């Protein structure tokens, strides 16, 4: 049986970009239907941003308890802690459940019609959704004026080491029933390092294999040095400049080769493959639309328009920075444009954050990028070792670094590494969006004692008059 439904806006994908677009469109009076095949919230809420940060927090607290059972340097002593990984996962799932239910409630509040099922595109105006209700199968044919594609991304699978058995993706790593004794992480990017560090703090022997000569290859060595030092302190083994060849014939180890093509084996009870993500373009009939691509991603302009009229695409599907906050901003903008507002997606910067230990934040241009663009610039760094709040937190590693034009002192970028620096990213990106100069930050009264004082001090130092170093 086939039923028909008409709407002004049809959104395929209920992740951060899709559900934000739906809510904003409904606020603007646009009739909206949202189709989601799995759970509302997409990768971010269910198997990405939120659950990974929850597991990281569990790992941090457990490691802290282990430390207190040892030195007790702050005067706190506890008996040797134990870990119930099942309860930890249950706690993590509880947070995820609250957020996904919250998204569903918001969509309902704004009268967005949510259809659960897998959408298959017929053309740029039509999608069909097969539903199974009360044991009956039916097809819902949805006609729309505007089609917004927000299908997200998926983990990249190595052809010679497919997911299954002891080879897992980040999704499986976030919901362990038991912990392996030895974990090999393939990929030294932010996903591999975040989860690798978490597993190490939970007591797992961790080895990270990275094809490049250093971790987080996209970031400069000064920024990653504190993280590299902490990986060694934690006892995480690093095999940099090594290629993964696959499992050995017994399936008990990962075969790797170095730059001299010498082959060795790393024993492993589990292997986490974290070599990146790719746009989710298969399985919903996207090929019927004959859209333009940039590699594996859909090509869009600065309004998120595809090459077909009234077909839009946002988030990871369009490649570039695969970040939830980028997708959300794009989704809100597309809703505004459909409603008749004049908008373009031209942010001054999009913050990139690695929730490692220590955390790493990059916003705007780095000194190297400014130099490559031929911009005369000045840069200054303020270490957290000179910050009172860092001392009281027992974590003085890291710094804040600012990059600004040499002529008018307009800020071009910020970088930071250290405990809790992810929370400073808001100040960083806001200064770029507002076109702030070093003098603006230096003259702004920053509360004491906070980590944020390092932001002001970095600006002061770039101007030649830092106070606390």
Active-site amino acid positions: 448
| 268 and 183 Cβ atoms separated by less than 8 Å | yes
Cα–Cα distance measured from residue 215 to residue 219, given in angstroms and rounded to the nearest whole number: 8
- Residue 388: which of 467, 442, 450, 445 has the closest Cα? 450
Q: What is the gyration radius of the CA atoms in the chain, in angstroms?
A: 24
Cα–Cα distance measured from residue 142 to residue 468, given in angstroms and rounded to the nearest whole number: 63
Burial 56-91 (b: 16+ CB within 10 A, else e): bbbbeebbebbbbeeeeeeeeeeeeeeeebeebbee
Cα–Cα distance measured from residue 290 to residue 375, given in angstroms and rounded to the nearest whole number: 40
Residue with tokens 């806001």: 430
* Other Cβ atoms closer than 10 A to 408: 10
E strand or H helix that includes residue 113: strand 113-116
DSSP string over 388-430: HHHHHTT----EEEEEEETTT-BEEEEEEEETTGGGGHHHHHH
Cα–Cα distance measured from residue 57 to residue 39, given in angstroms and rounded to the nearest whole number: 23
Estimate to the nearest angstrom the gap between the alpha carbon of 372 and the chain centroid.
26
| 403 and 372 Cβ atoms separated by less than 8 Å | no
């Amino acid at each position: 049986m086939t039923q028909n439904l008409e709407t002004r806006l049809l959104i395929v994908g209920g992740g951060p970009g899709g559900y934000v677009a739906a809510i904003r469109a409904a606020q603007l009076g646009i009739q909206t239907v949202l189709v989601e095949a799995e759970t509302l919230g997409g990768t971010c809420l269910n198997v990405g941003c939120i659950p990974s940060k929850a597991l990281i927090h569990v790992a941090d607290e457990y490691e802290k308890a282990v430390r207190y059972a040892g030195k007790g340097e702050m005067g706190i002593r506890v008996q040797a802690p134990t870990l119930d990984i099942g309860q930890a996962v249950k706690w993590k799932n509880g947070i995820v459940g609250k957020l996904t239910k919250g998204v569903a409630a918001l969509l309902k509040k704004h009268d967005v019609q949510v259809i659960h099922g897998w959408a298959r595109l017929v053309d740029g105006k039509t999608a069909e959704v097969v539903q199974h209700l009360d044991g009956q199968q039916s097809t819902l044919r949805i006609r729309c004026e505007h089609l917004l594609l927000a299908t997200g991304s998926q983990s990249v699978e190595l052809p010679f080491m497919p997911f299954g058995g002891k080879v897992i993706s980040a999704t499986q790593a976030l919901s362990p029933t038991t912990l392996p004794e030895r974990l090999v992480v393939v990929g030294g990017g932010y996903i591999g390092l975040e989860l690798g560090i978490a597993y190490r703090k939970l007591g797992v022997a961790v080895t990270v294999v990275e094809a490049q000569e250093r971790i987080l290859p996209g970031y400069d060595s000064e920024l990653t040095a504190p993280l590299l030092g902490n990986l060694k302190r934690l006892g995480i083994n690093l095999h940099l400049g090594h290629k993964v060849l696959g499992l050995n014939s017994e399936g008990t180890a990962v075969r790797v080769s170095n730059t001299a093509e010498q082959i060795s084996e790393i024993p492993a009870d589990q292997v986490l493959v974290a070599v990146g993500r790719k746009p989710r373009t298969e399985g919903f009939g996207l090929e019927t639309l004959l859209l333009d691509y940039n590699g594996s991603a859909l090509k869009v302009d600065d309004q998120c328009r595809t090459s077909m009229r009234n077909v839009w695409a946002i988030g990871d599907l369009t490649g570039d920075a695969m970040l939830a906050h980028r997708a959300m901003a794009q989704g809100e903008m597309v809703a505004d444009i459909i409603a008749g507002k004049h908008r373009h997606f031209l942010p001054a910067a999009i913050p990139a954050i690695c929730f490692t230990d220590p955390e790493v934040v990059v916003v705007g241009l780095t000194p190297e990028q400014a130099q490559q663009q031929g911009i005369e610039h000045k840069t200054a760094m303020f270490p957290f070792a000179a910050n009172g709040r860092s001392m009281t937190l027992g974590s003085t590693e890291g710094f804040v670094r600012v990059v600004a034009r040499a002529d008018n002192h307009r800020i071009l970028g910020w970088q930071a590494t250290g405990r809790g620096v992810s929370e400073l990213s808001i100040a960083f990106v806001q200064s770029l969006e507002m076109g702030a100069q070093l003098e603006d930050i230096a003259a702004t009264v920053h509360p004491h004692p906070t980590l944020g004082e390092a932001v002001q001090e970095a600006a002061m130092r770039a101007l030649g008059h830092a106070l606390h170093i």
